Chains A and B, each alone.
Chain A
Amino acid sequence: DAGVTQSPTHLIKTRGQHVTLRCSPISGHKSVSWYQQVLGQGPQFIFQYYEKEERGRGNFPDRFSARQFPNYSSELNVNALLLGDSALYLCASSWSIGGYTFGSGTRLTVV
């Protein structure tokens, strides 16, 4: 069985641009969570979705948004990119509220 898959694996963007990151959960999992991990730190919670509804939101600006599709895949969107948005973006899925199994992440570099 495929695990949590994220795309792209690496991305380089310029300040001010917009980015969309994608996540496919494990088959049967209905919950997807997004995290930001800056080098040397633990992951920071951004969003949690369950059954296509937002169930949790971390302390991130409105430039960050997400959605979950009927097939339970998810997108994370970040507008007006800043240098400080450079990080590893992780997606996690679970069958219920949670988000316990992580993907390998998308490495975003903003220049």
Chain B
Amino acid sequence: GQQLNQSPQSMFIQEGEDVSMNCTSSSIFNTWLWYKQDPGEGPVLLIALYKAGELTSNGRLTAQFGITRKDSFLNISASIPSDVGIYFCAGQDTGNQFYFGTGTSLTVIP
């Protein structure tokens, strides 16, 4: 199945630093979602984006729906140790199918 190109694959950062990750697709999406997944758990929805150009924040997290509808990014400001985990982007196409990115593994060093 199709998967979105997500980068970087992994990040090691110091506590307090900002984080940026992005996701690109060859297809147009109607919805972009960002999830965080902890080991042994299902993904937890962080931010949902529904319109091209939309910029949405959730606490220290900010995400944007790209103008071309083929990309999205997620920023985390002032990282803390509990931000550790795997972050996935997901896109919903015009056929209502969801595609997930390959994931970004985030490690925060205290």
**Which residue numbers of A lie inside 8 Å of B, CB to CB?**
4, 33, 35, 41-45, 48, 55-56, 58-59, 90, 92, 97-105
Contact = CB atoms under 8 A, between A and B. Distances in A.
B44 A102 contact: yes
Interface string B83-110: 0000010101001111111110000000
Contact of B48 (A56, A100, A104): A100
Chain A binding surface, main DSSP class: loop
B53 interface: no
A33 B6 CA distance: 22
A102 B98 contact: no
B9 to A, nearest CB: 11
10 contacts: A33-B98, A42-B4, A43-B90, A45-B98, A45-B99, A48-B96, A59-B1, A98-B92, A100-B45, A105-B41
Given A42-B102, A98-B92, A58 B97 contact: yes
A104 B19 CA distance: 26
B42 A90 contact: yes
B8 interface: no
Contacts of B92: 98
B21 interface: no
A42 B43 CA distance: 10
Contact of A105 (B42, B96, B99, B102): B42
A58 B1 CA distance: 7
A4 B6 CA distance: 27
Contacts of B90: 42-43
B41 to A, nearest CB: 5
